[in-house]
């Protein structure tokens, strides 16, 4: 049970390149298995399975299975998406595949040796293809794929501008934790794309970009901090935004979500020329304290009353709390603790995002969903208390919205991200009004 907690914690907040690479290895193996079948190399495909199954999974049986699939689905065209989760000592990977006749999802079960021990055809699911929210009016904006140069890195990005825009405000979207795409896709939801198209329909431009950890994961197998993970690239995007002819360089805003919201005050401190920051579901506490709250919530959701479960929870919390003692001097920077280098923990421990925000002299909008089980309204209250009296600061709680600022009836679990949903329109309206107010 606690293994699930640890993996979920990392997925929600503390995803690192090392963890991402492990996940990608399983996904790549599943993809390679399909490619091997598609090439008709059935003996090679059999080698993907654990040796204990060699008598049950033969080259002949794989040829028969693939022949039946090809007859009903057509030729494999592409793998459009992949998901993974841990279950005990196994990794479960789901590939969403597009064939010439239809789409089909497949489930792969891998053991710790990265060998297949299970392969299943999943039941057809309702259509979960992304569709633009109703507030996105495609006649009012245009999008252009661009490349952001950040040091030696090239980051694919999307520039979204109102049509015929002249000196429009522009918003820079900064991701939460983990290797995120430019839409900050979570499950079937795309909050950054929702907001970018919604804002552009109201006259406000934006840039959203692929996070460095999604493209250059191999660079994160040594000591790193939030500087390399987030801050450097956000600053590079701000500099690029200043060169866009259609925008007002004096009206640049940073929208930071979750970890990005924690770091937005630091980004603003390093570039005080920006007009304002938006802290969306941004922890005011140490990230470890938020993680402990998540642990307790998920343990309660799991309804685990066993002694072993409670002991595992206690140990997990103890391990996370230990990371709060890490400084730049008491551990080697590249030593790995709970899947992250000591340098990263020390960097997090040195961050006081509320104090940084208090020193800023710019517009600040702090928003929080009441049904967010990842960052709670407790953090919003801490922001309010810590920034009391600052006239530049506005805050708002949306009681029925979740971590992605979409409407949900209850806090629930990560399963909600597999349901088609969008950033709630009142959030878009409030952002527009806040940005455009004098």
Domain boundary among 121, 151, 174: 121
Q: What is the pLDDT of residue 213?
A: 87
pLDDT tens digits, 32-88 = 898 899 899 999 999 999 998 888 889 998 998 898 888 888 888 777 666 666 676
Residue 312 domain-assigned? no
| 320 inside domain | no
pLDDT interval class at 130 (50, 70, 90): confident
**Residue pair 383/397 in contact by the 8 Å Cβ criterion:** no
Band of pLDDT at residue 295, cut at 50, 70 and 90: confident
Residue 127: its pLDDT value, please?
Answer: 60
- Of the chain, the percentage scoring pLDDT greater than 70 comes to 91
**266 pLDDT tier (thresholds 50, 70, 90):** very high
Q: pLDDT-derived band of residue 26, with 50, 70 and 90 as boundaries?
A: confident
The DSSP line for 48-110 is TB-GGGTTTS-HHHHHHHHHHHHHHH-SEEEEEEEEEEEETTEEEEEEEEEESS-EEEEEEEE
Return the pLDDT at 173.
98
Decide if 360 is inside a domain. yes
State the pLDDT at residue 4.
32
In the prediction, which pLDDT does 7 show?
A: 32
Whole-Å CA distances, 144 to 45, 136, 207, 236, 244: 41, 16, 10, 18, 12
List the domain range (segments joined by +) for residue 59.
2-121
CA distance 77 to 74: 9
74 and 175 in a single domain? The answer is: no
pLDDT at site 80: 61
The whole-angstrom separation of Cα 167 and Cα 47 is 59
Which pLDDT does position 14 carry in this prediction? 37
pLDDT tens figures, 169-183? 999 999 998 888 999
Query: Is there a single domain that holds both residue 105 and residue 189?
Result: no
The SS3 assignment for 190 reads coil
Q: Clarify whether residues 107 and 229 are in a common domain.
A: no
340 has which bridge partners? 337
Residues 275 and 417 in one domain: yes
Where would I find the beta strands (DSSP E) of 100-150? 103-110, 116-121, 141-150
Whether 374 and 275 map to the same domain: the answer is yes
Q: Is the Cβ–Cβ distance between 213 and 20 less than 8 Å? A: yes
- Which CATH number is 432's domain given? 3.40.50.1820
- Return mean pLDDT, the chain: 88
CB 80 within 8 A of CB 108: no
pLDDT digits (tens, 9 = 90+) for 220-243: 888 899 999 999 999 999 999 999
Position with higher pLDDT, 379 vs 303? 379
As for how many domains the chain has, the answer is: 2
Is there a domain that residue 309 lies in? no
Residue 300 lies in a domain: no
Are 280 and 193 in a shared domain?
A: yes
- Residue 39, number of CB atoms within 10 A of its CB: 10
Instruction: Retrieve residue 169's tokens.
Output: 């405000």
Q: Is the pLDDT of residue 387 over 90?
A: yes
Contact 393/366 with Cβ under 8 angstroms?
A: yes
The predicted model gives 311-339 an average pLDDT of: 87
Q: Is 360 in contact with 272 (CB distance < 8 Å)? A: yes
pLDDT of residue 278: 99
At residue 15, does pLDDT exceed 70?
no
* Lowest mean pLDDT segment, chosen from 128-137, 158-167, 293-302: 293-302
Evaluate if residue 301 carries a pLDDT over 70. yes
Do 188 and 103 belong together in one domain?
no
Q: What is the pLDDT of residues 183-192, one digit of tens each?
A: 999 888 999 9
The model's confidence at residue 419, banded by pLDDT at 50, 70 and 90, is confident
Residue 49 forms beta bridges with which residues? 116
**pLDDT tens sequence across 91-124:** 888 887 878 888 888 888 888 888 999 888 887 6
Are 147 and 77 in a shared domain?
no
Residue 56 is part of a domain; what is its CATH number? 3.10.450.590
For residue 296, tell me if it sits in a domain.
no
| Residue with tokens 């009391």, as numbered in its chain | 388
Based on the domain organization, do 384 and 273 belong to the same domain?
yes
CA-wise closest residue to 262 among 159, 334, 158, 350 = 350
- Using the 3D structure, point to which of 121, 152, 183 is the last residue of a domain: 121
């Amino acid at each position: 049970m606690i293994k699930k907690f640890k993996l979920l914690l990392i997925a929600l907040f503390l995803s690192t390149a090392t963890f991402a690479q492990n996940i990608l290895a399983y996904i790549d193996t599943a993809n390679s298995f399909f490619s091997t079948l598609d090439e008709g190399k059935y003996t090679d495909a059999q080698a993907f399975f654990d040796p204990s199954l060699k008598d049950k999974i033969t080259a002949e049986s794989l040829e028969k299975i693939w022949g039946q699939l090809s007859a009903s689905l057509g030729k494999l065209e592409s793998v459009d998406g992949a998901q993974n989760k841990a279950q005990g000592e196994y990794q479960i990977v789901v590939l969403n595949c597009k064939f010439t006749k239809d789409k089909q999802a497949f489930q792969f079960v891998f053991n710790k040796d990265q060998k297949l021990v299970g392969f299943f055809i999943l039941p057809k699911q309702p259509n979960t293809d992304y569709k633009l929210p109703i507030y996105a009016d495609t006649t009012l904006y245009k999008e252009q794929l661009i490349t952001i140069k950040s040091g030696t890195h090239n980051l694919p990005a999307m520039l979204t501008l109102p049509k015929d825009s002249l000196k429009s405000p522009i918003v820079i979207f900064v991701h939460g934790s983990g290797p995120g795409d430019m839409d900050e896709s979570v499950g079937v939801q795309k909050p950054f794309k929702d907001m970018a198209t919604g804002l552009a329909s109201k006259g406000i431009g934006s840039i959203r970009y692929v996070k460095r950890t999604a493209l250059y994961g191999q660079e994160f197998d040594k000591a790193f901090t939030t500087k390399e993970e987030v801050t450097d690239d956000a600053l590079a995007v701000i500099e690029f935004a200043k060169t866009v002819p259609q925008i007002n360089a004096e009206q640049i805003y940073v929208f930071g979500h979750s970890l990005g919201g924690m770091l937005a005050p630091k980004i603003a401190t390093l570039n005080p020329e920006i007009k304002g920051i938006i802290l969306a579901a941004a922890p005011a506490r140490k990230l470890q304290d938020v993680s402990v709250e998540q642990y307790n919530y998920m343990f309660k959701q799991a309804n685990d009353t066993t002694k072993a479960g409670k002991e595992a929870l206690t140990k997990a919390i103890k391990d996370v709390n230990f990371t709060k003692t890490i400084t730049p001097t008491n551990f080697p920077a590249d030593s790995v603790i709970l899947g992250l280098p000591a340098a990263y923990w020390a960097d997090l421990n040195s961050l006081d995002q509320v104090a940084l925000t208090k020193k800023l002299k710019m517009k600040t909008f702090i928003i929080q969903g009441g049904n967010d089980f990842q960052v709670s309204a407790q953090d919003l209250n801490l922001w309010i208390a810590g920034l009391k009296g600052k006239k530049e600061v506005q805050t708002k709680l949306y009681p029925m919205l979740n971590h992605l600022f979409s409407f949900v009836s209850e806090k629930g679990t990560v399963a909600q991200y597999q349901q088609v949903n969008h950033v709630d329109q009142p959030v878009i309206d409030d952002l527009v009004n806040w940005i455009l107010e004098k």
